[in-house]
Amino acid sequence: MDTTPLDDAASGFIAIPGQGVAGAARIPTLYIRAVEKAGGRAQVFCPFDQLRADENVPEDITIHMDVDLEDVSVLDKACGLLLPGGGDVDPIQYGQPRHPRTRGVSRERDRYEINLLRSALKRDMPVLAICRGFQLLNVTMGGTLIQHLADEGERLDHDRDMPRAEPVHSLKIDPNCYLAEIFGKLEVPVNSHHHQGLDIVAEGLDQIAWSGDGVLEAVIASGYTWVVGVQWHPEVMAPMSSGQLRLFEEFVNAARRYRERTAAA
């Protein structure tokens, strides 16, 4: 594991917050590998001071531990922000009491990722928000969440035991949106590992893809150059799906354009 001091970090990387709860971090390795496969590179920034005891970190991954929750300067040398999956966003962030099935909450992680996201949006930095990140994007911009989809009548089985490469259901994509260009078709099979979903969609987020039971699966923030949120786990499917990999390739390309734009400013 490379623990390069933050001041020495090279510019032009994708910043990814570390995962985890209860003060013990997990490394978002699959997300890092998807970024690398798409031609980019990533560094991890974690607000926790230690890793989980069972965490095995590859030697080639750069991780910065115990980052200050208010410190968004990590984005000064970054060219993109990827918000990964994980535990639920604390309902206090959108003004609701906690549902009995809400789980894996980390207020430290919420606070840090919201601070990073707000800073990235202010910079018009490319953002790819996945699963929990998709939900956090909505909450940060003023939306709310359904805390347990299974409470709401007939639903697909969205909450599989873990993110797997095999598809669980299909998406129906708005034919006029950017995601349709990425995948080159209007119906796409995806995996699924979530028990929550978007409820009130924040102003500024365009709804662009849905599962068969009406659960919103993708948004874009059209007021920014490149901000995409998806509910499924493309990082797991990217090694064997060219369409899912293309999402990361487009993100990395947007990050390159951001780096060129800010370097020229």
Determine which one of 113, 158, 194, 235 is catalytic. 235
As a whole number of angstroms, the distance between CA 14 and CA 27 comes to: 14
Has 131 been annotated as catalytic? Answer: yes
Distant-in-sequence, close-in-space partners of 235: CB < 8 Å, separation ≥ 6 = 30, 31, 33, 34, 84, 130, 163, 248
Has 233 been annotated as catalytic? Answer: yes
- Between the alpha carbon of residue 19 and those of residues 6, 28, 31, the distances in Å are 19, 6, 11
| Cβ-defined contacts of 4-11 (< 8 Å, 24+) | 4/62, 4/64, 6/64, 6/67, 6/73, 6/74, 9/43, 9/62, 9/64, 9/74, 9/77, 10/77, 11/77, 11/78, 11/79, 11/259
Sign of CA dihedral 122, 126, 130, 134: positive
As a whole number of angstroms, the distance between CA 91 and CA 102 comes to: 9
Determine which one of 113, 195, 233, 249 is catalytic. 233
Determine which one of 46, 64, 113, 131 is catalytic. 131
Has 169 been annotated as catalytic? Answer: no
Catalytic residue annotation: 131, 233, 235
